[in-house]
Amino acid sequence: MSSTLFIINDAPYGNERAYNALRLAGTLSGREGEQVRLFLMADAVGCAKAGQKVPEGYYNVQLMLGKVLRKGEVGLCGTCMDARGLAESEFIEGAKRSTMAQLAEWTAQSDKVLVF
C-alpha cells in the first residue's frame, strides 16, 4: 500500500491551492491500495468548516473533503483552530482536531508528502 500525506496551508477560497490539493487527494483516495491523509493548517482549517454555502456553479471544498474522508483521514491543526476561534463542533464529521506530534507521525509514515 502506498501512502500520501497532503499538508494544506491556504484558505479554502481566494486562490485555488486548497481546491487543487483536494482534487488530487480525492482522485488518489479512489485508487485501490492508496492511503490518503490530509493535515489542514493555518487558514486551511476552514476547508473542514461545516455548512459552507457557495454560489451555484462554484466548487465546495467541504464536499470535496468529504470524498477524501470516506477512505482517508483528516487532521486539523489544533493551534490553528484556536487562533481562529474555531471549535471542533463547527467542523464536518470525521475531521479531527490534531497536533504537530500527529503531523510528525504521519510524515514519518508516509511514502510521499505534498505541501500546498
Report the alpha-carbon distance of residue 32 to residue 42 in Å, rounded. 31
Render pLDDT for 37-64 as a digit per residue (tens, 0 to 9): 999 999 999 999 999 998 888 899 999 9
Alpha carbon distances (Å) from 98 to 5, 75, 105, 111: 14, 5, 11, 20
pTM: 0.93
Q: Is the pLDDT of residue 65 over 90?
A: yes
Amino acid, res. 37: R
pLDDT one-digit tens code per residue, 78-111: 999 999 999 999 999 999 999 999 999 999 999 9
**Domains defined along the chain, listed by start:** 2-115 (3.40.1260.10)
Residue 11 burial (CB count, 10 A): 16
Please tell me whether residue 48 adopts helix, strand or coil conformation: helix
